A and B are shown apart, each in its own frame.
Chain A
Amino acid sequence: MEQRKHNWHAWIGFALCLIGFLSYPFFFARYPVTRDVPWANFLILAAGLAFLVSGLWRAFGRSQEYKGKILGPILGVLGLAAAGFFCFVIFFATKQLPKSAGAPKVGQKAPEFTLVDTNNKQVSLASLLATPLPNSGMPPKGVFLIFYRGYW
């Protein structure tokens, strides 16, 4: 009996799904153009799913010619899971943020605070606004408060 061919389409599809998922945190999320709307990842994932469909069709529709009746569905499920998880993260998980309706609005006074800096020195909003800058010797024109999630 003639040796059946390797089902490369299934493997390529699976690999593209993984790349489509992993390239976001490791690469595309660094650039606003591919971060805010992750179109590059959607394209890669779509190509991956198309290859998986083609691979499955080869495995089952042309099983005389191609291998992959067992591995094909496994790769298919894993690839689909990667694509699905990516969509879950993009469309749902990262949007789970509190509303912050009580946050200070434009024109309102910024709430005063006193916290410690990395040298364990007490720093308040008032002191930040009053401390002269080293380059100009003048107090700053303003401060830009960046609240971030941190490493916890």
Chain B
Amino acid sequence: MNEIEQMGVVPVAISVDSPEESGDLCKKAGFTFPFLSDPNTVAIRAYDLVHAKAGVNGHDISRPGEFLVDSSGVVRWVNLTEDFRVRARAEQFLAEARQLK
């Protein structure tokens, strides 16, 4: 994540967690980039990432998904894993991020 930030790309984490829950996570893990709260799955729906009823109390949550968006707002790289154990490798993403101007 540090490498991403050094390249001038801002990581932004989005989930249905409340601002308080995300704040605790940031404090514990030492994250300084923004964590956004989407409890009503507004953005999550806009990106078609809703995982219906997969939350603890059966509410909707986000499936994992990563998007690199350039300064003009265009998507440059997408990762939508089919298995939430398997996540994007940093190298794949960094190669694309280095191309950003």
Chain B residue contacts of A152, Cβ below 8 A: 16-17, 55-57, 59, 61
Interface segment, A7-15, A74-82, A133-141? A133-141
A120→B35 CA distance, assembly (Å): 10
- Residues of B within 8 Å of A149, CB to CB, are 15, 51, 54, 61-64, 84
The contact string, 1 if C-beta is below 8 Å from chain A, for chain B 12-33, is 1111110111110110000000
Segment of A43-51, A61-69, A109-117 in the binding face: A109-117
A149 — nearest CB in chain B belongs to which residue?
Answer: B61
Give the contacts of A115-147 with B (CB-CB under 8 A): 115-120, 123, 125-126, 128-129, 133, 136, 138-147
- Find chain B residues with CB under 8 A from A147 CB: 14-15, 44, 47, 49, 62-67
Q: What DSSP secondary structure best describes chain B's contact surface?
A: mixed
Q: If A144-B9, A145-B12, A149-B61 touch, does A110 touch B17 (CB 8 Å cutoff)?
A: no
Q: Is the interface of A mostly helix, strand, loop or mixed?
A: loop
For the complex formed, measure the closest distance between the CB of B30 and the CB atoms of chain A, giving whole angstroms: 13
Who on chain B is nearest to A133 by CB? B8
Is B34 a contact partner of A148 (Cβ separation < 8 A)?
no
Chain A residue contacts of B8, Cβ below 8 A: 133, 136, 138, 140-142
Residue in A closest to B8 when the chains form the complex, CB atoms: A141
- Who on chain A is nearest to B35 by CB? A118
Q: Mark B57-93, 1 if CB is under 8 A from A, else 0.
A: 1010111111111110111111011111111010001
Instruction: Check A148/B62 contact, CB under 8 A, given A29-B85, A129-B71.
Output: yes
A147 to B48, CA, bound (A): 11
Binding site for B on A (CB under 8 A): 29, 32, 35-36, 90, 94-95, 97-98, 100-113, 115-120, 123, 125-126, 128-129, 133, 136, 138-152
List 10 A-B pairs, minimum CB-CB distance, nearest first. A150-B15, A102-B48, A113-B43, A118-B23, A111-B46, A152-B55, A115-B36, A150-B17, A141-B100, A141-B8
